Amino acid sequence: MPPEQGPAPIGRERLRSQRLREVNVQGDALRLGMNWTEDDLRKPQVLVESAYGMGHPGTFHFRSLVEEVSNGVFEAGGKPAEFVVSDICDGVVQATDGMSYSLISRDIMAAMIEIHALGHPHDAMVLISGNDKSVPAHLLAMARCDLPAVHVPGGTQLNAPDYVTSNKMWEMGAAVRRGELAEDELELAQRGACPTCGACQFMGSASTGQVLSEALGLALPGSALVPEPLTKLLRYARAAGKQVLRLLAEDLTPRRILTREAFENAIVIHAAIGGSTNALLHLPVIAREAGVEITIDDFDRIHRQVPVIADVKTSGRYPAEYFWYAGGVPALMLGLRDLLHLDCVTITGKTVGENLEEIEHDKFFMRERLGYLRNFKIRRDEIIRPRDDPFATDGGIAILRGNIAPDGAMVKTFSVPKEMHVHTGPARVFEDEPEAIDALVERRMRPGDVMVIRYEGPHANGMPEMYFAAAILSSDPELNSTTAIVTDGRYSGAMQGPCIGHVTPEALDGGPIALVEENDLIELNVPERRLAIVGIDGDPRPQDEVTEILARRRERWSPRPRRHTRGILSLYEQIASTASHGASLLGNGASAPAHSRTTRA
């Protein structure tokens, strides 16, 4: 955490809040009605926005973090204003109609924070979040509003008994349905899977988002994935409240931090942790808000160069709690610093290189964390491995293309069994996820099959996660190394196994995935980055013949009616950008021009 300093000197004449007071005299009266003092009105106004809510354990503990951020703002001479926009939980809505609302909630949350930040006369903001859509929503809002800002990651749950994690409930539930597991065993796991508040204990979308916030330079060094019960999390929150006033004094805003090099740093770290595939939807959209062009091909390029060295669940052995004890993001960056842009500026006001140098020479930073690992008798290099002994030799993401996915599809390569990196199998076509789940639960799938789950993209159904299907597949010893899923939907960050998603163009837009028929031969070739139909009716065919057959099928194809004709999903499905461009509610992702220092009022 930054060393203690006195309040930063800030000239009142350049504060947005003070300029707006000269225009709107009613505002002072309304604030005084909330027990503000006359002195409060003259202070820098800091938005303290959290995702607090009762939807899941990842936000339920945020009241104390909001209080500590506000204390820090007060101590540094500012006036906090507390606002809330909560999120929904992917784990709670998984495999239901509610999952269609998950991805769009990112953009709705970001829009509400923009309204709070720029609608009211705020000078700076501190945002508190820790989960799948709230973290990218907050980073989007920071880039869009371009007020001096700090992100406070919400921390991680403690390890559960027997290392059980909540995502395991899906495969256990399927086993109960089939009569292979007693209901008591499922209930026992449910009772213990989430022993505290915080993000789930694996490197899913929530944990990945916290890590990427710190890697981008928008959160304090060491603050991602703090175990929730530790008072260290409260201290980071108070430090964030103080730090945002220093950023305001220095006029250091997110768009000065969010350079192309900062995003490349984040992708390096994403590769090293084997992070969630949902980052392919989030980072490019955040970058676009900052005026930077990041594409899915940047992930493929960088992941080829970076080994996975974090041995963290679900593909690895250890919970996210232990990752923080092993030194967390700073330890990872120290081990990869030759691959990083060390001159990127961060919210400390210092560069990545300067932050790492301070941490390396700090007498306590690593020692106070590693002591916890000694309690568990686990070596640090078991969790964050040396680069010459990685968990996987190259990063976790590959971008595939071919006649099924001309604009790209993704696969989490290091979680795919090596024998499935090159695979050809017959298509089994499902028009939605529930059909596919029934086939898996009822064991109607055969080894070698390629399950095609379509009409689940942004324009068809809000792009829900196919996690239930993926979880059943990965837990089946007969299918998990022989059978693949291909979909225009997406997956949970906890996904494992041969699961290809984000197929673009999607089926509803007439993408080739809509033309796949039962028993077509589909080739998955990770080394050559290819996903293609290579045969018809179970027989291999020359590529020109396949192309001709697909053209004839296209002549017969007609688009399906939209699934949602009213409400926010109807709007989203009409205007969202494609999955390869982040599935953004803003369509092409265009952002309003940055507010100049002279016109911000």
Do 439 and 472 form a contact (C-beta atoms < 8 A)?
A: no
For residue 2, the 8-state DSSP code is: P
Q: List residues bridging with 152 in a β-sheet.
A: 128
Q: How far apart are CA 100 and CA 457, in angstroms?
A: 10
In the set 129, 205, 492, 577, the catalytic residue is 492
Do 546 and 533 form a contact (C-beta atoms < 8 A)?
A: yes
Q: How far apart are CA 5 and CA 177, in angstroms?
A: 59
SS3 of 536-593: the string is ECCEECCHHHHHHHHHHHHHHCCCCCCCCCCHHHHHHHHHCCCHHHCCCCCCCCCCCC
Q: Does the annotation count 492 as an active-site position? A: yes
Per-residue buried b or exposed e for 485-519, using 16+ beta carbons within 10 Å of the residue's own CB: bbbbbbbbbbbbbbbbbbbbbbbbbebbbbbbeee
Do 205 and 492 form a contact (C-beta atoms < 8 A)?
A: yes
Q: Judging by DSSP bridges, how do beta strands 409-412 and 499-501 pair with one another?
A: antiparallel
575 half-sphere exposure, CB direction, 13 A CA radius: 13
Per-residue buried b or exposed e for 552-585, using 16+ beta carbons within 10 Å of the residue's own CB: eeeeeeeeeeebbeeebbeebbeebbbbbbbbbb
Residue carrying the six token digits 């996987």:
392
Rounded to the nearest angstrom, the gap between the alpha carbon of residue 391 and the centroid of all alpha carbons in its chain is 21
Q: How far apart are CA 459 and CA 575, in angstroms?
A: 8
Q: How far apart are CA 484 and CA 320, in angstroms?
A: 28
* Lookup: tokens for 384: 């964050």
Q: How far apart are CA 154 and CA 337, in angstroms?
A: 26
Q: How far apart are CA 304 and CA 297, in angstroms?
A: 11
* Lookup: tokens for 11: 């000239």
356-361: long-range contacts, CB 8 A cutoff, minimum separation 24: 356/330, 359/221, 359/222, 359/330, 359/334, 360/334
Question: Hey, is 173 helix, strand or coil?
Answer: helix
Q: Which residues are catalytic?
A: 492
